[in-house]
Amino acid sequence: MATAFGSQFSALRGRRRERWSDLSPMRKREAKFGFLFIAPWFIGVLLFALFPFIASFVLSFTKYNIVAPPEWVGIEHYEHIFTDDPLFLKSLKNTAVYVGGSVAIRILLGFGLALLLNTKVRFLGLWRTLFYVPSVVPIVALSIVWLYVLNARAGLLNWFLGFFGISRIRWFADPDFAMLAFLIMSTTWVGVTMVIFLAGLQGIPEEYYDAAKIDGANMAQRLWRVTIPLMTPTIYLNVLINIIGAFQVFTQVFIMTGGAPRDATRTYVLHLFDHAFQYLPPQMGYSSALAWILFMIIFAFTAVIVASSQRWVFYQGAED
């Protein structure tokens, strides 16, 4: 999959830029249609992504309560965040735990499921659908369902754990278990990761496995020596997508716990949201500063992963 992306980019890079006047009437018409079709997306990005992106950066240096014009305060918010906001570190730590846990769960479980569903089992389509469907359920509805599943007194999970002699766990009342509950919930979206892995697995030529078998490789060796190296572009993609998404975890926490108990589930975006929309006076400037710090953290993680990818991501047919 990543190989396909790579070859397309290479093709684009190699193409000579054509002037508008050089285009044939047919190509001009095609180009006009092209621009027309991307216009809604482009306008949307400008209005709802790029403009707020830049505006939030400017606002992060202001005191802005929404009802009055912003007032310039320089780097005051950034100073306060790093020196006098105990919930900044707490929420960042909680988010880091969620990122680490949920990304590991989704990658390992998604990869495992994809391997299983890449075999010739009965009702393959049904299994694939069953694992993918939860990912398309609205998160609010999912949150309500998980509240029931993780209910300490009458929840399905505690009932199940009871068969193994595990005493009732107070998932959302015990600070030691609350984040674990959200990590368990994160398995809901494993279907998305699984589908991407499946696409990657199906791109591995069968000849490699045949050759490995002839060389006497057993199943584990084929997995370790053939599948995983050839899947590194897909693993890379999934890790990136999941890390970026996990850092922004908000909706389920907002609905299910609001950060309780003892702020054990107070995630970074929830903290940011409270400053913007829950407190009076609203602290939009402060909230924007928090948002930009999160952006820089995600950016740094992404940069490190991208930079390190040269060492551990292998593309089929690529030269060293």
Partner 1 sequence: MFRKRTLLLAILVIIFALVPLSMTATAQNPDCEGDVTLTYWHHWGGNRIPLQEHQVAAFEDAHPGICVDNVFLPWDNRLQNLLAAIAAGNPPDVTMFGRQDLPFFAATESIIPLDDYMAADGVDPAIFHPSEFAGTQFNGKTWLLPLPGGGAYNIVWYNTDHFAEAGIESFPETWDEMLEAAETLRLGDGEFLERIGLNAQSTSGAGGFLTWLNANGGDWITPDLRTITINNEEGAQALEFMQAMAEINYGIQEVNAFWEMAGEFDQGPLIQGLVSMEINGSWTLFQVEAHAENLSYDVAPIPYGPNGSADRRGSAHGGWGYMVPKNAAHPDEAWKLVKWLTTEVEGDGACWFIQQQQRPSPLVECNGYEKDGVVHPRAEALLGVAALDYLVPVSPVQPEANQIIGRMVEDVLFGDSSIEDALASAEAEIQELLDAFWEEYG
Stretch of residues binding partner 1 (CB under 8 A), selected from 218-226, 254-262, 286-294, 306-314: 254-262
Any contact of residue 51 with partner 1 (CB under 8 A)? no
Interface with partner 1 includes 307 (CB under 8 A)? no
* Residue 35 beta carbon to partner 1: minimum distance, rounded to whole angstroms: 10
Angle between helices 2-14 and 228-247 (to 10 degrees): 90
Calpha distance 176→44 (Å, rounded): 42
Shortest spacing between CB 52 and partner 1, in angstroms:
12
33 binds partner 1 (CB under 8 A): yes
**Contact between 274 and partner 1 (CB under 8 A)?**
yes
Determine contact, residues 90/266, Cβ cutoff 8 Å: yes
Please answer whether residues 243 and 103 qualify as being in contact, where contact means their C-beta atoms are separated by less than 8 angstroms.
Answer: yes
Work out whether 153 is an interface residue with partner 1 (CB under 8 A): yes
In the complex with partner 1, which residue's Cβ is closer, 32 or 93? 32
Q: Are 196 and 238 in contact (CB under 8 A)?
A: yes
Among 147, 190, 212, 253, contact with partner 1 (rule: CB under 8 A): 147
**Position 141 contacts partner 1 (CB under 8 A):** no
Name the minimum Å distance from CB 154 to partner 1. Answer: 7
Q: Is 213 in the site for partner 1 (CB under 8 A)?
A: no
In terms of CB distance, is 35 or 312 closer to partner 1?
A: 35
Q: Does 107 bind partner 1 (CB under 8 A)?
A: no
Under the binding rule (CB under 8 A), the answer on residue 66 touching partner 1 is yes
Closest contact distance (angstroms) between CB of 152 and partner 1 is: 4
Closest of 225, 204, 222 to residue 213, by C-alpha? 222
Helix (H, G, I), strand (E, B) or coil at 43: helix
26 makes contact with partner 1 (CB under 8 A): no
Helix (H) or strand (E) holding 63: strand 62-63
Task: Give the bridge partners for 72, in sequence order.
Answer: 62
Q: What are the phi and psi torsion angles at 116 (to 5°)? A: -65, -45
Pairwise CA distance, residues 260 & 27, whole Å = 59
Residue 154 contacts partner 1 per CB under 8 A: yes
Give me the long-range contacts of 249-253 (CB less than 8 A, separation at least 24).
249/95, 249/98, 249/102, 249/182, 251/139, 251/140, 251/143, 252/139, 252/142, 252/143, 252/146, 252/182, 252/185, 253/182
When the beta carbons of 92 and 147 are compared against partner 1, the nearer one is 147
Does 105 bind partner 1 (CB under 8 A)? Our answer is: no
Which of 110, 66, 54, 69 has its CA nearest to residue 242? 110
Site for partner 1 in 169-208 (CB under 8 A): 170-175
How far is the CA of 51 from the CAs of 43, 48, 91, in angstroms?
A: 11, 6, 27
As measured in angstroms, the least distance from the Cβ of 175 to partner 1 is 7
User: Residue 98 or 146: which CB sits closer to partner 1?
Assistant: 146
Touching partner 1, residues 276-295 (CB under 8 A): 277-282
According to DSSP, residue 169 is labeled P
Residues that bind partner 1 (CB under 8 A): 29, 32-33, 36-37, 39-40, 43-44, 65-68, 147, 151-154, 168, 170-175, 260-263, 274, 277-282
